[in-house]
A and B are shown apart, each in its own frame.
Chain A
Amino acid sequence: SQTIHQWPATLVQPVGSPLSLECTVEGTSNPNLYWYRQAAGRGLQLLFYSVGIGQISSEVPQNLSASRPQDRQFILSSKKLLLSDSGFYLCAWSQTSGNEQFFGPGTRLTVL
């Protein structure tokens, strides 16, 4: 069966510090991968999606970036965090487009 992992589960970082969140998927190959941000009490904002190694599409301009160094690894990064980067970051995967997405447990990021 497939599983998706995210870490860390929670993170408190000062403004201006770097960020690296990691997501890995097990039990499947060549998944579509997604990063979402969920602000407190808000919906899911699609940040990045990837259909293969090294292929990243960005949905919104921001100071975040994503990379996919391996087939089942998706990393969300920032060089300098802003207060507005606080939120709940969810990684997800799907077999193909237009199918169910399976979400990871999320990382709650607080930028102070």
Chain B
Amino acid sequence: GENVEQHPSTLSVQEGDSAVIKCTYSDSASNYFPWYKQELGKRPQLIIDIRSNVGEKKDQRIAVTLNKTAKHFSLHITETQPEDSAVYFCAASENTGGFKTIFGAGTRLFVKA
């Protein structure tokens, strides 16, 4: 089955710097890669996603890149702000015939003011 590895487990950056979180997946059938943000004590919420037919997607200060050959994808946050502090989860799933979304272990991001 699918296995998703996420690094680093903890990331501390200065406000205004960039943050990069990396994930790898094992199942070449996976073709949908969402990223969720979970603030302390709250539910995870989708912040950006990418499908396997594109290599990069950007939404304001966040972007995601996907390398299907290497089976890895990354989240990039630019100009970080204290409110970006949260746990970020990557995930991988199939959108044809498969119904499972497998999550990475999460990255706790601290943005220091």
Q: Can you name 17 A-B pairs with beta carbons within 8 Å? A: A32-B99, A42-B106, A43-B89, A43-B106, A44-B89, A57-B99, A57-B100, A90-B44, A98-B93, A98-B94, A98-B95, A98-B98, A99-B32, A100-B46, A101-B34, A101-B46, A101-B101
Q: How many angstroms from the CA of A18 to the CA of B32 in the assembled complex? A: 37
Which chain B residues have a beta carbon within 8 Å of chain A's beta carbons?
6, 31-32, 34, 43-46, 49, 51, 89, 93-106
Cross-interface CB contact of A99 among B43, B95, B103, B104, cutoff 8 Å: B95
Contacting pair B31 A104 (CB below 8 A): no
A72-112 contact mask (Cβ, 8 Å, vs B): 1 or 0: 00000000000000000010000011111101111000000
Q: Mark A19-38, 1 if CB is under 8 A from B, else 0.
A: 00000000000001010100
Residues of A within 8 A of B105 (CB): 42-43
Task: Report the count of interface residues on A (CB-CB < 8 A).
Answer: 23
Is A100 a contact of B44 with CB atoms below 8 Å?
no
| Cβ-defined contact, B93 with A97, below 8 A | yes
Chain A residues, CB < 8 A from B97: 97
Interface residues of A (CB under 8 A from B): 32, 34, 36, 42-46, 49, 51, 57, 59, 90, 96-101, 103-106
Bound-state Cα–Cα, A57 to B100, Å: 10
A44 to B105, CA, bound (A): 7
- B10 CB to closest chain A CB, in angstroms? 10
Which 7 interchain pairs have the tightest Cβ spacing?
A: A98-B95, A43-B105, A103-B43, A98-B32, A44-B103, A97-B99, A43-B106
